[in-house]
Amino acid sequence: MKAKGLKRGDMLGVVALASPPNQEHLKNGLKRLEERYQVKFKLANNIEHIYGHLAGTDEERIKSLHDMLKDDEVKGIICACGGYGTPRIVEQIDYELVKKYPKIIWGYSDITCLHNAIRQQTGLTTYQGPMIASDIGDTFNETSIKSFEQLFDGKDITYPTDQLTFKTLVPGRVESDIVGGCLSLLVSSLGTSYEIDTKGKILFIEDIGEEPYKIDGFLQQLKSAGKLDDAIGFIIGPFTDSEPKNPKKSLTMNEVLDFFITRLGKPAVYDLNIGHCTPHFAIPFGTKAILDVDQKLLKIESGVNIE
């Protein structure tokens, strides 16, 4: 199931489902998107709320998402930022509303669990992409903001390997849906009703602030749960700010990836600019993709329907 694509002048709902956004960065990001795409914005009622490390109570954050889904003026939903707290609300979301009002849902990091829950409960395609406050309004980059074009033109998406990093782990070619997101969030989904399903899928992973020993542990959990064996290919994004504090007593990140990913012998690439990085190239989850490592090609079917 795909949402309708956007048109110039459309209204976008801006939600804070995890931590509270930096308000100055939020304003900067809204201005830049408005100037580039001539869109309008409706801000969630809790957008300025602070409840500890959360952007309001669970009830406030859930209501903001439900309200945006039911609002006919709102044509797409963009997360202001990530942080912490989305896993607290995914089991309380009304997925029948998502089915009844399928809309673009865009974000990453802590929003990973929302992507997985929505896809597995409804089949709706969602987007891993740079967020308004934490990316567009802060670490601004032309490639990042240009990623939003795919919501308007409905064209297939090709990762620009002539401009961004694309390194080979295992050669080969594979076709399937891409699933995944922030690795620590994927691991936290194990044993829940929204556990990541990688059967026959291309698995995408990335993370921030986790040393190699932590990534090693996360990947071991996915391996033990059968998630690595179930996948048919791998796209590895950045592991940002992950340098070991004591390199002499640590494996390198490449050694960790070689042990868990390269040994499987399935097509795999790494260091793609998707996730916690600048630039940040957006991709849809849940549409068909071609990963041809030898040809340095990642091509993904559009995640929206254009009338």
Q: Is 91 a catalytic residue?
A: no
Let me know if 276 is a catalytic residue: yes
Q: Annotated catalytic residue: which of 25, 115, 276, 280?
A: 276
206 tagged catalytic: yes
d(CA 143, CA 113): 25
Per residue in 165-187, is it b (16+ CB within 10 Å) or e — as a string?
ebeebbeeebebbbbbbbbbbbb
Distance from C-alpha of 1 to C-alpha of 123, rounded to nearest angstrom: 6
What is the full DSSP assignment across 133-163? Answer: IIIITTS--HHHHHGGGHHHH-PPEE--TTT
Q: Which residue reads 């992409």 in tokens? A: 129
Q: Given the residues 19, 64, 109, 184, select the one marked as catalytic.
A: 109
| Residue 91 burial class via C-beta count within 10 angstroms: exposed 0-12, middle 13-18, buried 19 and up | exposed
In the chain, count of helices (H) and strands (E)? 10, 16
Dihedral sign of CA atoms 280, 281, 282, 287 in order: negative
Calpha distance 125→42 (Å, rounded): 22
Active site amino acids: 109, 206, 276
